[in-house]
Structures are given as C-alpha cells and as structure tokens.
Structure 1
C-alpha cells in the first residue's frame, strides 16, 4: 500500500510528465503548421502568385504565444520561425513582435 504523501508525489510527477509531453506536442504541431504553410506558399510562388491568406496564417501562428519544449525542439522552431519572418518580410508583412 502507498502512503498518502507518496501517492500525491506520484500524481504530481505524472502530471509534470504529462505537461511536458503536451508542451512538446504543441511545439511540434506549431512547427508543422508553419512548414505546411511555407510549402503552400512555395507552390503558389511556382504558379506565379502569392495568396494573402497564407501570409495571414503565418502571421497568426507567429502571434500565438510559444511554449518552451525541449532545447532541440526550441532550436528547430527558432530556425523555422526565422524562415517565416524572412518570407513575411519579402512580402512586406514582417510582424512587429
């Protein structure tokens, strides 16, 4: 039988693991969303047009607060977000945040 204080410690530890996993999941989803929209933009550019809606989606994702995940995921997101900012700047849409 587990004592009450030990049981609470186990529950808190499990919650912390769950929070970290959820944060990583959200960070990966953010990165995938940004990369998907960049890919859409690339296809549009090859067709000779730029969809304003794609630029709006990029600005919207960047405007959302980003949670810290792991150092590796954070570094990848930094690189992806830099690329997004470059593309937005090319189209006169550089966000001011």
Structure 2
C-alpha cells in the first residue's frame, strides 16, 4: 500500500463545549482543558505513525527484487524462443528485437548469487543473439 497524498489530515478541530450555568453540572473547566490536551496528544501520535509508514515505504522489499529478477529472466527466455521461431520462419520482427533490448537494459538487482548467475547467463545469450543480428 502506497501513501500518495501526505498533505491531507483527518484531524478534527477540538469542539467547544458551552459552559452550563445550572447546579447539576458535574464537569469543571479544568477537566475540559485536560480533555483537550489529551486530544491534542493523540493527534501528534498519528503524525508519528504516518512518518513511520513513509519510512517503511522507502525500504526495498528483498522478495520483490527477487520476483522482478525472475520475471525479467522469464521475459528474456520468452524473447529468445520467439526469436528462434522468427529465424525459422525467415523473418525477424523489429519490435521483438527492440523489446528484448529494452528488457536487457532495465536490470533490477538481486542479492541472491545463484539467481544472479542464472540471469547473467540468460543476458549473455540474449546479447550474443542480438549481436548476431547487429542490434547490440
């Protein structure tokens, strides 16, 4: 979940309580002030929680980076399969080559050395095939 608009606040203004003149009033002025102070302190806590949420958003999720790398590897392998089919037919699609170049340039990073090794091998194969067609 991403927070996009941080300027909006949902704080309600403290309500003004009219002071009664009757003898049956149980609340004094000091108690009303303490209620307003507590309400103000709760508003400050909510601002702190928004700051914490924004700080959490800036941290990259390691599983998300791994998923992006796996998805990119699958896209490159699919592109190689389509390229093989195009070569068998005798006509290579220009848009397919441009798409493979775009995927090759947008490389997400991952901390998993085994996954990085596999992705590097796939990238090398794509670079070789694109170099054969004078696209790299």
TM-score (norm 2): 0.55
Aligned residues: 81
Deviations 1:54-91 (A, max 9, x none): 11011101111321241011000000000000011001
Larger Rg: 2
- Worse-superposed segment, 60-69 or 32-41: 60-69
RCO comparison, higher one (Cα < 8 Å, 6+): 1
Is there any run of 5+ residues in structure 1 with no aligned partner, and where?
Answer: 1-7
Residue 23 (structure 1) shift? 0.8
Q: Does 1:75 align with 2:117?
A: yes
Gaps of 5+ in 2: 1-51
Cα contact 1:34–1:58 (8 A) shared by 2: yes
The structure where helix makes up a greater share of residues is: 1
Moved over 3 A (4+): none
TM-score, normalization: structure 1? 0.75
